[in-house]
Amino acid sequence: MSSKEKVRVKIPRYDIPAIKLEYVLLDADVLLPHEEIVTERLNDIVRNIREHNALDMPLIVAPIPGSSKYLIVDGHHRWAALIKLGCRKIPSVIVNYFDPRIKVFTWYPAFSGEPELLLSRLSGLNVKTCGLSIDSVNDEDLRNKAFLLFDRSSRCVSIEGDVEVQRRVLRILDELAVKDLISLAWYGLLSDASEDLRRNEIDCVLVRRAFSKSEIMEYVRSGGVYPPKTTRHLLPFTPIKEYIKLEVLCT
């Protein structure tokens, strides 16, 4: 993969039905994001909404226990785009977040480029080698670790820490990608990343533990916002596109 390519995302394929969903209009202020907004993605959504003079589909949200707020499960950039356009009414499908049919996973960042480009920038962090294999790593191995880094030589490097350490590592990856020093990719399945690592299509994979639904709810309720692409939610449905006119949302 050339360092000149844009960030690549490898999304798992699922057979999920597309259905029309009933939505309600919620005030923008009662919706809480659980991930940071990516400016480039936000600008793309704003352009799309302006082009159609409409939002293409509602958000998926869930009540936050013990509060009057709602967690944005899916649709962070649509929410931010509507606010940027001066809209206060957000079309939202309300779901039970703890429905077992709603799954939460994570994304695995990976890159082509020298591992030391990242590791050399982690001064002040607790970084050490480990003897784990990418194909056998489990949640217990990932406790209290921001990431485990695996490279093509089968080396394992542990980057100890919490969400803030993850945020620092991801910002470094973004900076390296912007400078064309690495080519960044995101994987929805660790098995796909592991296979591409063996095939020399990438040079490094960073593995982390997926947060539980309870952890996500508590983190957001306490005012926390995760780095982009921390969570990957799998819903039992896909909303059918139905363009909701801005005149309904921005009055």
Condensed to tens digits (0 to 9), the pLDDT of residues 169-228 reads 999 999 999 999 999 999 999 999 999 999 999 999 999 999 999 999 999 999 999 999
Tokens of 48: 């799309």
SS3 162: coil
DSSP 183-240: EEEEES-HHHHHHHHHTTS-SEEEE-PPPPHHHHHHHHHTT--BPTTS-EEE-S-EEP
Mean pLDDT of all residues in the chain?
Answer: 94
d(CA 29, CA 89): 9
Percent helix / strand / coil, the chain, rounded to 5: 25, 30, 45
CB 226 within 8 A of CB 71: no
d(CA 7, CA 183): 7
Condensed to tens digits (0 to 9), the pLDDT of residues 63-112 reads 999 999 999 999 999 999 999 999 999 999 999 999 999 999 999 999 99
SS3 173: helix
Question: Catalytic residue at 116?
Answer: no
CATH of 107-209, one of 1.10.150.120, 1.50.10.10, 3.40.50.620, 3.30.1760.10: 3.30.1760.10
Q: What is the CATH number of domain 15-103+214-222+233-249?
A: 3.90.1530.10
Domain-wise residue ranges, the chain? 15-103+214-222+233-249, 107-209
CB 26 within 8 A of CB 70: yes
CA distance readout (Å), 196 to 12, 55, 152: 14, 36, 10
Q: Which of 35, 36, 218, 242 is catalytic?
A: 35
Condensed to tens digits (0 to 9), the pLDDT of residues 22-37 reads 999 999 999 999 999 9
* Residue 87 φ/ψ region, left for φ over 0, alpha for ψ in the -120 to 50 degree band, beta for the rest: beta
Pick from 52, 36, 38, 50: which is nearest to 85 by CA? 50
Contacts by 218-224 with C-beta closer than 8 Å and gap 24+?
219/34, 219/163, 220/32, 220/33, 220/34, 220/64, 220/71, 221/64, 221/65, 221/66, 221/67, 221/69, 224/34, 224/163
d(CA 109, CA 77): 20
Full-prediction pTM beyond 0.85?
yes
Task: Report the percent of the chain where pLDDT is more than 90.
Answer: 90
Cβ neighbors of 116 (< 8 A, separation 6 or more) are: none
